[in-house]
Structure 1
């Protein structure tokens, strides 16, 4: 009877009924369907309640991270606003849903069944918590680079990987996604899959220094790097990199550099290996490639740890692009947070990187400035000199590790 009355009200042609029509529309279209009995039992039978029965070790394996500290950072940002719900979802439960999502890689619908929520609710929670983690934890887990910060990173590379003046290893990976609607071939990459590109710089302890997750998979590698924030700051000299200084046996001051693979151009502040045609009969160039590879492997290992620790990277993301970007950024921050924890808390999850998911960038051939060649040659001379050589490097090069 009420719906008949409302429909008759909408059929009225009187201008004086305009306000009443708005009320009628609101009443019809905002009316919520009754909750199912399954969803009503979230507080007693949902996965968030049942996980409290887990032991401490299983709890850590279940979420991949102890989230009490993280909850303290983002609690205020994810608190529910005033609503008509008698039992709104709590902040701890929201964080638990997000952490379980990135730890398991389950789809939103599967998460909704286990936590007794709708898949739309799970999607909103993941998007909200990921944004809050990036907002609150970025200053702690991924601080902005200063001259002192870069110097500290360079010291770590020299101590651990014997590469002086190295301030980070750079690499990019294609993060697979489901084809976005009405996107055409914008995200279609050279492996015939759909992706966005995660460009990252990593320090000697496998922690992300800076990340860029904005590029579409269809762009060429030169365009991806050239349009990245890193390339722009390198070009504008706004990265606060320390000035060039001397290293043993080299007369010219040597700049601080990033190390990358063949997917990146050779620049004054970015070293890439010699091409294959230049190392076939050249021992010195082989040594340089070996030494650069030792330092560059940190970024490969970082991607491997990230993908094995958070299994959401094991399959293509099936959510909106904005949510994908937020989840990837938040996962990188949580990776850094774990790297600051005792090593025993993260080593157990370290496995080989699933290559079917994080695809490497293609190799490129670009012209490089002459000064970049001089910098690379100076590093080569240092690595084969008594002051910079390693006892085992000759045997490694002879075994083909270059």
Structure 2
């Protein structure tokens, strides 16, 4: 055979898997459809690459099996990747909420991965359209190349303008593996109906607590010309399903009874004035108008103030959809974890076949978590090849 392993996909997970296997003496070939490797790495974090999150753990991931990611994440931690980054002299900083970024360009991360692959004499080919994958008992063959192991690391269909497709799922099904229905994640939500009014606030942002179901995130929300975005909304979008609501607390730092207290301390003030002190003016005015509380607080019964308080703490939006895979940062769903070993990422029913990274039904929160899954799952497979 030509190689010990052929890795399909030269993204974060594929390159990590390749470098680990190559440095263990395995003969590795990486096939990448794009003209260069690591395209998603290069655009992440505004070009600075949010390469991990120092607090990444199993609770930060969505999966049909929430326990699946535990093994790989425990064996390759954010500190492990940070050690690799520092060994290459790449300067970094922590932004917020444990998010780690390069001080300079994301190119440094791609160059680091390629340098590590070179240490293991990994062969990397770009601009390759993968055709038929042939398989017999012990060999995988793609064109003139063959290997005893094949790794699916081609990601999901998010950001198709970068060449993303559902290839991983088609190939998995070809080998009889089940696929959890993929859907867009970390994606802006669109508004219709009565919520259309809020589109007029396009460009306005505020720190809120957004939640859907049991998932809640305190970060910035951004109004857009199509609906809702910003970190808080992107986070809940991974949990949101069509037909469900999204609730937003516009004043997450306010104590219960704050409006009644304001009435007692300054009866001549208005809801609009109070909201303008806490929120961007255009948002404050819109919320005040929708609440219908225009008179001075001293002229309002406490019961009415409690109702407005409750509404501002759980303002209900009814998204009519999302902006889809075109704007989604990642994909929820993918190759079923029930088909894979959590220790090695190898398919249970197809010896020698592995799946890693975004191709698998493990999806992280916004903020470096998906890269940490790419590194950890890539290491799990690379150390098993």
TM-score above 0.5 = no
Per the shorter chain, which TM-score range?
Answer: under 0.3
Which protein has the bigger helix share? 1
Which protein has the bigger strand share? 2
Kindly indicate whether structure 1 or structure 2 has the higher relative contact order, using CA contacts under 8 Å at least 6 residues apart.
2
Structure whose CA Rg is larger: 1
For normalisation by structure 2, the TM-score amounts to 0.24
